[in-house]
Amino acid sequence: MNGPSISGGAQARIHWLTTLVLTVAMSPLSRAVADTGERLYSEHCASCHAATLRGSAHGAALSGPAFADKWSAAPAQSLLTYQMAEMPPGGAQSLSPAQHAAIAQYVIGQSGLDSETLLVSSAAHLTSAPADAVEVVEFAEAGSVMDMARSAGAFTMRRVDDFRPVTTEELNRPDATDWLNWRRTLNGHAHSPLIDISRDNVSQLSMSWSMAMHEGSNQPTPLVRDGVMFLTHANNKIQAIEAATGELLWEYQYVFPPASKMLGGPTRNIALWQDRLFLATYDAAIVAIDAATGEERWRTEKADYREAFTHSAGPIVANGIVVSGINGCELFTQDGCFITGHDPETGEELWRTSTLAEPGTPEYASWGDVAPDRRGGGDIWIAGSYDPELDLVYFGTSQPKPWAAPSRGMSVQDAALYTNATLAVRPKTGELVWHFQHIPGETIDMEVGFERILADIDDEQTLLTVGKDGILWKLDRATGDYLDLLDTMDQTIFEVNRDTGRLSYREDIAAAGIGDTYTACPGIYGGHNWQSATYDDARHLLFLPVHQLCSDMTPREVDLGPGGGGYGADVATYPMPGKEGLAGALLAIDVRTMEVRWKVEQPALFMSGALSTDGGLLFIGDLDRHFQALDTETGERLWSTRLPAPAHGYPITYEAEGKQFVAIPAGIGVFRALTAVIFPDIYQPPDGQGLFVFSVPQ
């Protein structure tokens, strides 16, 4: 709810609808409407703006200083008028005037504004119509029937017979037929040695089976062990499925407080070790689940979700330790963000390492005069990678928060360690062995917190990573020393010194204060984002999806008191100039020379992670519901199919019953708040979540 202007025709139409709301929707039903408002807000708004109204990366805060500054002096009808024209993004007409009014009333009531402000005092007019103006039609019986249908019966769970425990050695070097880790191997390559599906026969690929999935931001990575798939849903739900046929074996549903679910509830990965699965939950806990039966073994709370802590990514198991980060670190807390190691047998927390520099360390001064409990950010949005030879786990941290330096009372000269950095950690002890900060003093939400790919290049042990700015970094993963970088896009944010690896902000960005607007290309959605790259080490090729988008950012005032914080900026995103109609790009990069081998551009963003195989194929999905296979040597599209919804999550390939399969999740979730607005010509259903599995007929 950032308040852009509305055309005259739209104003007239909205005025008529608002009058209808005033006279029909609200009157003596105010109590019922208030209850309805909370339910409707939870259903249509909370995934972007948060159940607590604190906002997120995808939606402005609906409480606090920025909201008060924009809306407190406006009449309630203005908020309702804007909401009816713009919300939900790309789907304002999906709600009736009465539903919009109920949401507006709920937001105003929960905003925390003083009762004397115009917004709050005028909200009473939304419920002032006479009783005889109300006409009510109830469908309670129909609703009851639907509820009964949803809850009727119970599927009979089955166990996974003769489940073969997964050893540490197998995690380090998985069999080609399995997919045991987030990106198959702990080095993050997402590359498969399987060759039964190849350039020669991929044109024959057809669907073998599919599975409906829970609504939400569907960004999972299925795991496969000996022909059994473990599928994570966007509701902290896991299913065990026969990977050759789609037959359900068991289902586990973690019970979480609704307010702990953020951004549509993505859960990008789970971990598998011995006979158990490990799930990082919305309410900032870790649970262990029996892989054979789906029964919960233990639960350990890591943090208090009421302080905004949550998980979007799961753990990995490194050297027998369950290692995971946490996110939701936009609010100021005593502890801040951290990485933990847990005992896989008992759930006991073994160590905790802060992602923000602590008092008594040289790096602590990099935050200037900001008190330790007023430092935010350093989230871990993506699972780590692990090198068993060096015995190091690598994580990427996100930016400091609030997003813009002036909003947090800092400047771009304050590095704010260890944000926007690569951290190398010992899995047994949590010791921080080295760190490398990619962007000191970050001020545009240009995080470098995504996948860490561990590549051996000409006898050099390297780490590759890319941030939202599209800059590909090459580091020495043993020491953290800078080796090289590549500007993969026409970015306008930094001056880049390739010799030293140092970045300098454009002058107007560095000097911007509260209320000053600046442009960033690429923008806050990338460039690169969570749609991870894949690496073919035999060809030394990195296949990197990027979004050719830009953003305008305006820093806003943020509550810097105890428990304050947040994101603190207004953002508008749009296609990169010169790339209108070509917003989606996929690059093949030779990481020996750091040169682009080929590039594919298309109108639709690539919305899934990438997968490469020894069959010479690259699999990836996009916003326009295409799932496609490309030739890794040339980028030529060899096969494509249309899914019910935009491809999302991370594709995998595996073997079951002697046959190779390729699987892709679909169902866009919260990202649609952006894409439905700036790509109105691309059909993007808000539902259709599912898993779709393909094979070549034998």
User: What are the residue boundaries of the structural domains of the chain, listed by start?
Assistant: 8-151, 168-695
* Averaged pLDDT of the chain: 89
The mean pLDDT value for 135-149 works out to 52
pLDDT at 10: 41
The mean pLDDT value for 490-496 works out to 96
The mean pLDDT value for 122-148 works out to 53
HSE-CB at 160 with a 13 A cutoff on CA atoms is: 27
Measure the CA–CA gap between 328 and 281, rounded to whole angstroms.
12
pLDDT at 135: 42
Please report which confidence band the pLDDT of residue 142 belongs to, taking 50, 70 and 90 as the band edges. low
Q: Does residue 127 have a pLDDT over 60? A: no
Q: Does residue 66 have a pLDDT over 90? A: no
pLDDT at 99: 81
Please report which confidence band the pLDDT of residue 77 belongs to, taking 50, 70 and 90 as the band edges. confident
pLDDT at 40: 81
Q: Does residue 345 have a pLDDT over 80? A: yes
The mean pLDDT value for 161-174 works out to 97
Amino acid present at 224: V
Q: Does residue 18 have a pLDDT over 70? A: no
Residue 365 contacts by C-beta under 8 Å, 6 or more apart in sequence? none
pLDDT at 128: 45
pLDDT at 149: 62
Measure the CA–CA gap between 345 and 335, rounded to whole angstroms.
26
The mean pLDDT value for 648-666 works out to 98
Pairing of strands 392-396, 385-387: antiparallel
Please report which confidence band the pLDDT of residue 404 belongs to, taking 50, 70 and 90 as the band edges. very high
pLDDT at 503: 96
Q: Does residue 136 have a pLDDT over 60? A: no
pLDDT at 354: 97
pLDDT at 81: 79
Measure the CA–CA gap between 324 and 382, rounded to whole angstroms.
9
Note the pLDDT tens digit of each residue in 360-377.
Answer: 999 999 999 888 888 999
For 106: left if phi > 0, alpha if psi spans -120 to 50, otherwise beta; the answer is alpha
In the chain, the percentage of residues whose pLDDT exceeds 90 is 72
Q: Does residue 302 have a pLDDT over 80? A: yes
Among 182, 184, 456, smallest CA distance to 323 is for 182
Please report which confidence band the pLDDT of residue 25 belongs to, taking 50, 70 and 90 as the band edges. very low
pLDDT at 675: 93
Amino acid present at 167: T
Measure the CA–CA gap between 440 and 642, rounded to whole angstroms.
42
pLDDT at 491: 96
Q: Does residue 4 have a pLDDT over 50? A: no
pLDDT at 452: 98
Q: Does residue 50 have a pLDDT over 90? A: no
CATH number of 168-695: 2.140.10.10
Q: Does residue 139 have a pLDDT over 50? A: no
Measure the CA–CA gap between 616 and 155, rounded to whole angstroms.
41
- The answer to which of 44-58, 100-114, 260-274, 552-566 has the lowest mean pLDDT is 44-58
pLDDT at 92: 65
Please give the model's pTM, rounded to 2 decimal places.
Answer: 0.86
User: What CATH fold (topology level) applies to the domain 8-151?
Assistant: Cytochrome Bc1 Complex; Chain D, domain 2 (1.10.760)
Name the residue with higher pLDDT: 241 or 135: 241
pLDDT at 480: 98
The mean pLDDT value for 68-72 works out to 79
Note the pLDDT tens digit of each residue in 421-435.
Answer: 999 999 999 999 999
C-alpha distances (whole Å) from 58 to each of 50, 213, 250, 406 are 10, 23, 34, 20
Q: Does residue 138 have a pLDDT over 60? A: no
Amino acid present at 396: G
Note the pLDDT tens digit of each residue in 450-463.
Answer: 999 999 999 999 99
Please report which confidence band the pLDDT of residue 656 belongs to, taking 50, 70 and 90 as the band edges. very high
Q: What is the DSSP letter of 410?
A: -
Whether omega for the bond prior to residue 522 falls within 30 degrees of 0, making it cis, is yes
3-state SS, residue 186: coil
